[in-house]
């Protein structure tokens, strides 16, 4: 049990990837500002932050955790949604990982900067792959995801 505690953020990261992909399948979008907005988008912002904490735990092996989450999502969620989500997520998470890895800023700033880079990529690619891309819809998803990053940044700003 103590060994699992050592990897609590990495385990939470993998599980959150799977849960959000399942959520995109079962929780329908809601109308917002003339667009259909998927409420699960808000939780995706949390995943970006969990990745940052996971990387602090396991270093560059966070890419393995990312892969595990992607594979599990494919088998546990609708394959069409899972493929779009995983593809968008992998591209944005790699950009997020690079920013987090190569900037030498304090943790709070790295979380904010890496989320600002990753969330627009994730939103645009995901919506485009599903055939639902609109500028307003993409902006709504970006704002929802960045809210998580801003809340965490505000709590731990250093």
CA 85, CA 98: separation in Å to the nearest integer?
20
Average pLDDT over residues 138-151: 86
pLDDT tens, residue by residue, 88-97: 877 887 887 7
Output Rg (C-alpha) for the chain, integer angstroms. 15
pLDDT tens, residue by residue, 103-114: 878 878 887 888
What six digits make up the tokens of 135? 């500028």
Rounded percentage of the chain residues whose pLDDT exceeds 70: 99
CA 78, CA 53: separation in Å to the nearest integer?
28
Whole-model pTM? Answer: 0.80
CA 123, CA 151: separation in Å to the nearest integer?
19
- 82's CB contacts (< 8 A; 6+ apart) are 21, 73, 74, 76
CA 95, CA 83: separation in Å to the nearest integer?
18
CA 67, CA 113: separation in Å to the nearest integer?
23
Produce one character per residue of 43-81: b if its CB has 16 or more CB atoms within 10 Å, e if not: bbbbbbbbbbbbbebbeeebbebbeebbebbbeebbeeb
Checking if the pLDDT of 158 tops 70, the result is no
């Amino acid at each position: 049990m103590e060994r699992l505690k050592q990897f609590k953020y990495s385990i939470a990261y993998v599980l959150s990837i799977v849960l959000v992909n399942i959520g995109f399948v079962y929780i329908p979008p809601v109308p917002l500002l003339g667009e259909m907005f998927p409420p699960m988008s808000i939780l995706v912002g949390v995943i970006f932050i969990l990745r940052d904490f996971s990387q602090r735990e396991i270093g560059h092996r966070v890419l393995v955790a990312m892969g595990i989450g992607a594979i599990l999502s494919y088998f546990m969620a609708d394959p069409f949604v899972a493929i779009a989500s995983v593809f968008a997520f992998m591209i944005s998470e790699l950009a997020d990982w690079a920013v987090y890895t190569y900037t030498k800023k304090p943790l709070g700033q790295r979380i904010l900067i890496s989320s600002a880079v990753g969330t627009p990529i994730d939103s645009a690619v995901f919506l485009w792959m599903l055939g639902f891309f609109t500028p307003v819809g993409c902006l709504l998803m970006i704002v929802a995801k960045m809210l998580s990053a801003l809340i965490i940044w505000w709590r731990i700003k250093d």
